[in-house]
Structure 1
Amino acid sequence: MKLNFRSIDLNLLPVFAAVVEEGQLARAAERLGMSQPAVSAALKRLRLTVGAPLFSRSRAGLSPTPLAQELYQRISQGLSVLAEALDPEQVFDPTRSDRDFRLVAGDYFDTLLLGRLIASLRRQQAPVTVQALPLRGEWLTALLHADVDIVLDTVAIDDHRVNYVVISEDSPVVVARQDHPCIRDRITLDDFFMAEHVVLPPRERGVLPLDQILADERWPRRQRRIGVQVSQFTNQFAVVAESDLIATVPRRLAKHLAPSLGLQVMEFPISVPRVPIYLLWPKVLDHDPGHQWFREQLTEQVRLLD
């Protein structure tokens, strides 16, 4: 049964968060400027709303149950966002923030971006953390509901709840092993369609940019010979390095990975448009100072890849 949001007293949530963080009713009550019985009563009301115990007593005080720990993880960032949104004078200080930013991106971004991003954040003495989540499952629903902060993708989302901006571009190239028996230094259109390919799976929404390219009217009724399908770009490189299969991959990723695997990198056999890279975020987080700062950090690191 879906919970009636109007039936929830939202004043209970800051009380709950304070008890989790302080571990004792007395300290939580002092922090909130409330009496200890009032804090205890608020916890009882929240327990009735949730329908399950939230704390157990220990020598140290109150220990949150696994359910309470999960609930705290889900609401603590929301409370922080609300506090920042409702306090126009508040300025986000990354050096004092323990915020956990949830980033949905493919292995293209994990490989090229995450190390540089974290190194930059630590140089700024920002102790924030980043969760990198895959472009699979219910990520789109999570974005629409602001359960994730940022999505990096090559396809925009036409939804009034989402903002996006193009922050960079990339282009497809073809990789093959250096001693490939049929391909050397360049690849022709005939070579491309005669070779076996290692490919990625179809997207849950829309199609891959490469599928759009191959649907071009300049080569009707010609299809790739698919030898194997893998789940990630980086797996394509590994398969190509050990076989006579070829792969079409982003230029930046090829520049990063091909030398160490002994692969030749060739221009795509026809002229194709560059692929945009979008940064997408929930519109409700548009004016959140912490989120604005994180968007700036991501944008800067992506542009430094050029």
Structure 2
Amino acid sequence: MQYDLNLLPVFMALFEERNVTRAAERLGITQPALSNALKRLRETMHDPLFVRERYGMQPTQMAQDLAPVIGAALAAIDEAVRGQQDFDPSKADRLFLIAPNSLVEFVLMPAIVARLREIAPGIRLRLAPFGNDLTEAGVVSGTTAMVIGRITDPPDNLVVQHLMDDGLACVVRADHPLVGERLTKAVYEQLRHVNVLPPGRLRAGLFRTLEERGLKRDVAVSVTHFLAVTEMIAATDYCATLPRLICRHLADDKRLRVVEPPVDLGTFPVEMAWHVRYRNDPAHRWLRSLIADMARELATATR
């Protein structure tokens, strides 16, 4: 039997998106064209492949069995083609969609953008929300070039690279009446706190760490981004427990003071993940290398 290889990207787009509209947008075709391609796929495979249910197009067992094989075949073709291409960053004209978490967006992306302006001015970045999980961030489907932050439970089609580690410190207003040279456990638990909520399953991370260290925290207000912390701490007697990379920036604000937490709160990783199909893409590989170098420089500067 002769197969139409043009149908394979349609299959993978439907399998990963589980939605006809998003799959068509991803492929740059109309919904009728995608529906026609799906009809041909079904006729070729003698199977429905995708069944419309309440929460989208759900794959049949045959589709689930085919997906890893087709995905690996397309990735191999991508690698073979892209591996032959030359890449000159000074002449490149390309847009990358990146999903950094709020820590990376605040402390690392400005340095990356500044470096790109100097050596690759034609490369443009569009920053997307990190999202509640990797699927929402778009990296699992490959629509997002990469995600940068804390990567948990990555699927097999993602490559994960460790960039650096960070720790935690505390921030209070400079003339705080209860905090002296050091922050004791008693004072830490007496104070009210500003908490930064990361997305999704990571929300319990700091609470779990504090519980493991035997520390209690009375949270007065929770915010969604580190940018909201500065004014709240400067105007109150609250305390915030934040990544040290964030504290490094806040230490320049004379209204604030960075102090050590009453116990060692350990470290956490900052990682970068991307779809396997981009593994040998010359431009993607160059950008990953630049980001890794910038992360190492940042980590070294804060030691």
Q: TM-score, with normalisation over the residues of structure 1?
A: 0.69
Q: Which amino acid aligns with 1:91?
A: D
Shift of 1:154: 2.5
- Alignment partner of 1:89 is 2:84: yes
Shift of 1:254: 0.9
Contact 2:86 2:282 in 1 (8 A): yes
Higher Rg of the two aligned structures: 1
Question: Where in structure 2 are the equivalents of 1:103-118 lying within 5 Å?
Answer: 103-118=98-113
Q: Which residue of 1 aligns with 2:115?
A: 120
Q: Which residue of 2 aligns with 1:267?
A: 260
1:108–1:269 distance in 2 versus 1, CA, 3 Å: same
1:165–1:88 distance in 2 versus 1, CA, 3 Å: closer
Q: Which amino acid aligns with 2:99?
A: V
Q: Secondary structure at the match of 2:116?
A: helix
Contact 1:176 1:263 in 2 (8 A): yes
Tell me, in whole angstroms, the C-alpha distance in 2 between the residues paired with 1:94 and 1:7: 31
Shift of 1:48: 5.4
Tell me, in whole angstroms, the C-alpha distance in 2 between the residues paired with 1:204 and 1:257: 26
Q: Which residue of 2 aligns with 1:238?
A: 231
1:268–1:85 distance in 2 versus 1, CA, 3 Å: farther
- Alignment partner of 1:150 is 2:152: no
Q: Secondary structure at the match of 1:94?
A: coil
Q: Give the unaligned 5+ runs of structure 1.
A: 11-44, 52-81
1:94–1:179 distance in 2 versus 1, CA, 3 Å: same
Shift of 1:214: 1.2
**Which of these residues, 83, 93, 97, is aligned with residue 102 of structure 1?**
97
**Which of these residues, 175, 178, 183, is aligned with residue 179 of structure 1?**
175
Kindly report structure 1 stretches of 4+ aligned residues shifted beyond 6 Å.
Answer: none
Contact 2:79 2:277 in 1 (8 A): no
Tell me, in whole angstroms, the C-alpha distance in 2 between the residues paired with 1:280 and 1:226: 32
**Which of these residues, 228, 244, 253, is aligned with residue 251 of structure 1?**
244
Question: Where in structure 2 are the equivalents of 1:127-206 lying within 5 Å?
Answer: 127-136=122-131, 140-141=135-136, 142-201=138-197, 203-206=199-202
1:250–1:49 distance in 2 versus 1, CA, 3 Å: same
Tell me, in whole angstroms, the C-alpha distance in 1 between the residues paired with 2:197 and 2:203: 10
Tell me, in whole angstroms, the C-alpha distance in 1 between the residues paired with 2:149 and 2:83: 32
Shift of 1:186: 1.4
1:151–1:87 distance in 2 versus 1, CA, 3 Å: closer
Shift of 1:84: 7.2
1:113–1:201 distance in 2 versus 1, CA, 3 Å: closer
Q: TM-score, with normalisation over the residues of structure 2?
A: 0.70
Tell me, in whole angstroms, the C-alpha distance in 2 between the residues paired with 1:9 and 1:110: 35
- Alignment partner of 1:289 is 2:282: yes
Q: Which amino acid aligns with 2:187?
A: D
Q: Which amino acid aligns with 1:159?
A: P
- Alignment partner of 1:305 is 2:298: yes
1:208–1:295 distance in 2 versus 1, CA, 3 Å: farther
Q: Give the unaligned 5+ runs of structure 2.
A: 10-28, 36-76
Percentage of identical aligned residues: 24
Q: Which amino acid aligns with 1:258?
A: A
Shift of 1:87: 4.9
Q: Which amino acid aligns with 1:123?
A: E
Contact 1:240 1:246 in 2 (8 A): yes
Q: Which residue of 1 aligns with 2:62?
A: none
Q: Which residue of 2 aligns with 1:15?
A: none
Contact 2:78 2:277 in 1 (8 A): no
1:262–1:95 distance in 2 versus 1, CA, 3 Å: same
Q: Which amino acid aligns with 2:146?
A: I
Q: Which residue of 2 aligns with 1:229?
A: 222
Shift of 1:238: 2.3
Tell me whether 280-289 or 130-139 shows the greater mean CA deviation.
130-139
1:272–1:201 distance in 2 versus 1, CA, 3 Å: closer
Tell me, in whole angstroms, the C-alpha distance in 1 between the residues paired with 2:31 and 2:208: 52
1:46–1:165 distance in 2 versus 1, CA, 3 Å: closer
Q: Deviations over 1:17-57 (max 9, x none)?
A: xxxxxxxxxxxxxxxxxxxxxxxxxxxx9695269xxxxxx
Tell me, in whole angstroms, the C-alpha distance in 2 between the residues paired with 1:6 and 1:229: 51
1:253–1:87 distance in 2 versus 1, CA, 3 Å: closer
